[in-house]
Structure 1
Amino acid sequence: MEGRLQVFSGNSNIALAREITTHLHLNLGRALVGQFKNGETRVKIEENVRGSDVFVIQSMCAPVDHHLMELLIMIDALRRASARRITAVVPYYGYAKQEKKTTGREPITAKLVANLIATAGADRLLTMDLHAPAIEGFFDIPVDHLQAGPLLVDYMRDKHLSAPVVVSPDAGGVGRANRFRERLGASLAIIAKQRPEPDVSEVIEMVGDVEGKTAIIVDDMISTGGTLVEAARVLQERGARRVFACATHGIFAGAAFDQIADSPLEEIIVTNTIPLPPEAQAARIRTISVAALFAEAIMRIHKDLSLSTLFM
């Protein structure tokens, strides 16, 4: 790729953006990203980007709508400033839970957001652990889909847990849990659940033996924590000696921290795709950085190199 490599960031996860640029031995690009007095998002790129290969780092975490608008407006500003190529780096892709219609008269917001990013002027997307892999197909631009699984597996392997069993908290996550199990060298258990309404889950049954073992619940995100806490209690009732949880995206909405604090979970491991508040540490939550992985992916994209080795 001809042109300079420049990295900019919105306000959603500045700490991660700075860590990524540190790995790249770059300074974070100067940009004014704020609000007008009427509440509208204000963006001004304060560096020359003409002919540059530009990466915009922005997670779609709370407030989701505001951070989404920051991303779209930054992309538009860079396009109008004649950047040669613009890559949207979205560590956490929001609106991903509505990737299909479950009843009539519902939107498919994951597709809508994909359209917005492409229409704003992004040439490609770099993201991590989409809630539904099919979302990648919603884009008509190239998508590089990183996985945090190997990083989480390395962390759990270093704990030298006895008789580990990897648990999928729902049928949709079996593939993810099985890949985790293969890397860790553990057995597999599956919890079947149903959702009577949004953000509410009920455990129906469990397949697999967890008695006397160390259970590791693996998921892509933790939203309200309800599914996670209920799964942990079921595992404890089935005889699991210890219960851990691993997830890429720690959203922790509503009273999630209070629920987790009162649960059998010994430790929860998430990545820093979403910044966590100080109270997360009190809830036995640990964070693994994905900055080095994103930095490597950005450099490989910039140099037109393969990213396949990052998916192993």
Structure 2
Amino acid sequence: MVEITHRFVESTSGLRMHVAEAGEGPLVLLLHGFPECWYSWRHQLTALAEAGYHAVAPDQRGYARTGGPSEIDQYSILHLIGDAVGLVDALGEGPAVVAGHDWGAPVAWGTAQLRPDLVRAVIGLSVPHRPRSSRPPIAGFRQKAGDGFYKLYFQQPDVPERELDRDRADTFRRTLYAVSGDAPPNPMIVPEGGGFLDFCPSPDVLPDWLTEDDIAAYVTEYQDSGFTGPLNWYRNLDRNWELTAAWHRAPITPPALFVVGDRDPVVAGRRSAVDSMGDFVVNLRETVWLPGCGHWTQQERPKEVNEAMIGFLRGLS
């Protein structure tokens, strides 16, 4: 059986990053989302290694064993893309295939957009590429979803981390279940006077793809870092919009694959955002829809995700 090993790598971005890795061969960089860490790619690390690739899953800036700076403005999209580029450079194995899920998807899409010379191909999971909007995103979220939208709740200082850090096992249990394909549809709206976890029900029984050992693993990985770093990604949404003006509606040119669950609330009611991706991801080879799958694609449906990723990778040559 392939072994997953761990080490720290000094990214040329200046961040000391913890990585989990397996296998030898062409580099596939796996970028996790919120609230996750390298562990969300546990099934892909071994599958990609067995297929002949060097799979590397870092804890991204602010997360788990990597940690990060305290200043909010150090979590902009340019810092996050810089970490990915710096890790590829430090590993000395570029150009790389860059895959990202949830928040990792915009980082992967952005890396392919800004540094196509270092990106052999890009794989997005759950979050489609969206071209830069004509106005800052916070105002748009407020108009479309109201002040209760969870991304607006996360803008508050200290309040979200106090809630999420209170009982981390409960946080992961609720969050991972709430937007999965096993849970009822979720509007992701914080009730007035409530918190993020108030719209995340606690399951009576965990779904088959999630175990108590998995939850314990996330709790262990977060024991030294907590949630402030991850939440700071959300606190840069308008700053990211300002910083990326030079790439407004710029195309993404490397070969691309997109994988998404048809019960993912990110795309619920927004199928057009997926169908129109080819307008800007100009070499989109395939979009794979996973019936009955929610937001945690590579954890909920590891077999199908592995097959889609490896098939796409083999087709690159």
Q: Specify the TM-score bucket, using the shorter chain as the normaliser.
A: 0.3 to 0.5
| TM-score, scaled to structure 1 | 0.34
* Length-normalised TM-score, structure 2: 0.34
Larger radius of gyration: 1
